[in-house]
Structure 1
Amino acid sequence: MIATRKLRRARVLIAGCGDVGMRCVPLLAQRAAAPRVIALSSQPARAAELRAAGTTPLIGNLDDRRSLRRLAGLASTVLHLAPPQKSGDDDLRTRALIAALSAPRRSVARVATTAVARQRAWRGWFRATFARGASTTKRASIVPERVSYSPARGRPIRVVYASTSGVYGDCGGAWIDETRPVRPDNGRAKRRVSAETQLRRAARRGPMSASIVRIPGIYAGNRLPLARLQKGTPALAPADDVFTNHIHADDLAAIMVLAIRRGRPQRVVHASDDSELRMGDYFDRIADAYGLPRAPRVSREEAEAQLEPMMLSFMRESRRLKNARLRQEMRYALQYPSIDDFLKRVEVTSGPAASPAG
């Protein structure tokens, strides 16, 4: 009986189990029917760490489709936290993940021992899965891209994708909700739009349910710009500064896990806190809390000459995210409604001049 229960446990695949993914693992274990968590990693050296956290490590690389063959029919739920590759406008990693999830389960082909029998088994699987009253010829062109059924009684695969608020581009500091059209300004954001589009199309084609969580800047005790402040890297002067949005990593992990149950299919949700801050003010609050000098302020022209292209790309985009869907549809109460709520806890724990070693 115990072995049977283990086999029947739901499975959650985390693709891209980094800092946020590791924060998701204990939250998944707290659920009433705790699923088996499988962590996809391209680094064999992380296997012990992932196993100690309570996951089953699975070595696979989203840049190598051949390494993803075991994903077919493996899990009924997927938390897609993996970033795109670093170049191009198309997210090839999401494309590889969808293809792996879409492939027929190996057990379908293993029932046959000869080449002819294997071919018949595959044809039978395609007919049983995709025919449904339509002609086989008409559907043949889309079969390779169809999304497979999960192993849990034919239910659709549930995918929750961690996207970015960067897909909106520069909004001139306006308040925006999830209905605003995307307008990516750089390759990084274009690849995220590509991933969202691929998942939505896959969900329309077959039995997949995809929810998209758009994420602003993530912070936590181990994800603060302390090194930047110690180096004295400048921020924009108030007249040129941009509005920025944030979310604590613990809140984000909780939102991703909650989206498995409460995220609506094909729906976008902003995982953003309640703060309304300009980028320089965000740096100032952290500097004051950790007893560091505030970042010097420079004009936009001076910043263009002094800062790296990556940082400049963030300084060119200004927007304020509304999070009504997060509160009303997802019914989520933020642990850290603003960076100030987090920093108050830092000061209580470490004193007003906390060590910058966090």
Structure 2
Amino acid sequence: MVKREKDIDVRRIVILGMGYAATAFATLAQTRGWCTIGTKRQAAQAATTLPCVPFDEAADILAAATHILISTPPGADGDPAYLRYAAAIRAAPQLHWIGYYSTTGVYGDQGGARVDEKTTPAPAQNRSIARLDAENAWRNLARERAIACDVMRLGGIYGPGRSALDALRNGTARIIDAPDHCFSRIHRQDIAEGTLAAIETARDIRILNFTDRLPSPQRDVFAEAARLLDCPMPPAMPLAAAWPEMSEMARSFWSERRQVDSRWTEASLHRRWRYPTYREGLAAILHDV
């Protein structure tokens, strides 16, 4: 049986990989009274306003963790957090929850069809295959320990400093006219709040989709950003014309189409997204600047 949050005297969460989204969660968790500590790849990077240690020096802090969030992307050999620390995490005596930031890319190309938390993954890209392998590894470890585990499949992450508003301002916006190609997105603050809600509602092992309610073409998002900034839209180009100049990474994004549904996740977390569409999310980013 999963131990209830109210029964845990001191909540200590270790975040393996203090990236853009995980940093927002750590900041929120600290305001709610959590003891938080994260990892960075190098010692110099660990000197931040949030408590951090180098990734290779996390064994001691893992031993005292009640909760662990993994935000490290897989490498060529697999998930670096699992490869280095699976044994330490198995042995952590106070551990009650494992969270893993994955990607909606594990659903693969669905031809534009809608997928949800019960859809069988069908990854085709190597990095998505590696993500699914990592998901399964963490879920299996949680089963061994008989603790809760939430795999959070994140859509395209945006937020302050990483949005269509920023791309328009700095002149890096590259707009592709592909009206049948919808992307699913999630605001960084909804990832933070959703992660905290996952911990507070933790039960067994769950797949959670962190995506807002309006999968949309890229051009629509830039059109809204241009409206908010009262600036002209840069010219758009057809996908076929843009394809030869794309990086391999960009092609992998544009080669798959799916619309990710997260209604079950919202119900399971007992919360609604703060920013249910990119319109509310972009407006909030603009007003925060």
Question: Given the two structures, how large is their TM-score scaled by the length of structure 2?
Answer: 0.86
Q: Who is 1:109 aligned against?
A: none
Contact 1:275 1:338 in 2 (8 A): yes
What is the letter of the counterpart of residue 150 of structure 1? Answer: P
Q: Who is 1:58 aligned against?
A: 53
> 76, 82, 93: which one pairs with 1:94?
82
Q: Who is 2:25 aligned against?
A: 24
What is the letter of the counterpart of residue 281 of structure 1? Answer: D
Provide, for residues 155-197 of structure 1, a one-character-per-residue CA deviation record: whole Å limited to 9, x for no partner: x431011110010011111111111111112111111101101
Measured in 1, the distance between the counterparts of 2:147 and 2:14 equals 14
Relative to structure 1, is the Cα distance of residues 266 and 14 closer, same or farther in structure 2, using a 3 angstrom cutoff?
Answer: same
RMSD: 2.4
Question: Given the two structures, how large is their TM-score scaled by the length of structure 1?
Answer: 0.71
Relative to structure 1, is the Cα distance of residues 264 and 237 closer, same or farther in structure 2, using a 3 angstrom cutoff?
Answer: same
Measured in 1, the distance between the counterparts of 2:92 and 2:284 equals 45
What is the letter of the counterpart of residue 312 of structure 1? Answer: R
Larger C-alpha radius of gyration, 1 or 2? Answer: 1
> 106, 118, 122: which one pairs with 1:167?
106
Provide, for residues 56-99 of structure 1, a one-character-per-residue CA deviation record: whole Å limited to 9, x for no partner: x22223xxxxx4432452201011122222x35x3343332323
Relative to structure 1, is the Cα distance of residues 232 and 333 closer, same or farther in structure 2, using a 3 angstrom cutoff?
Answer: closer
Measured in 2, the distance between the counterparts of 1:36 and 1:267 equals 24
Q: Aligned-pair distance for 1:227?
A: 6.3
Structure 1 residues 142-153: aligned runs within 5 Å: 147-151=90-94
Relative to structure 1, is the Cα distance of residues 92 and 17 closer, same or farther in structure 2, using a 3 angstrom cutoff?
Answer: closer
1:178 aligns with 2:173: no
> Of Structure 1 and Structure 2, which has the larger fraction of its residues in strand?
2
Which shifted more, 195-204 or 37-46?
Answer: 37-46
Contact 1:234 1:303 in 2 (8 A): no
Contact 1:13 1:78 in 2 (8 A): yes
Count of residues paired in the alignment: 279
Relative to structure 1, is the Cα distance of residues 242 and 94 closer, same or farther in structure 2, using a 3 angstrom cutoff?
Answer: farther
Higher relative contact order (Cα pairs below 8 Å, separated by 6+ residues): 2
Q: Who is 2:39 aligned against?
A: 40
Contact 1:284 1:295 in 2 (8 A): no
1:257 aligns with 2:196: yes
Measured in 2, the distance between the counterparts of 1:259 and 1:290 equals 35
Percentage identity across paired residues of the two chains: 26
1:84 aligns with 2:27: no
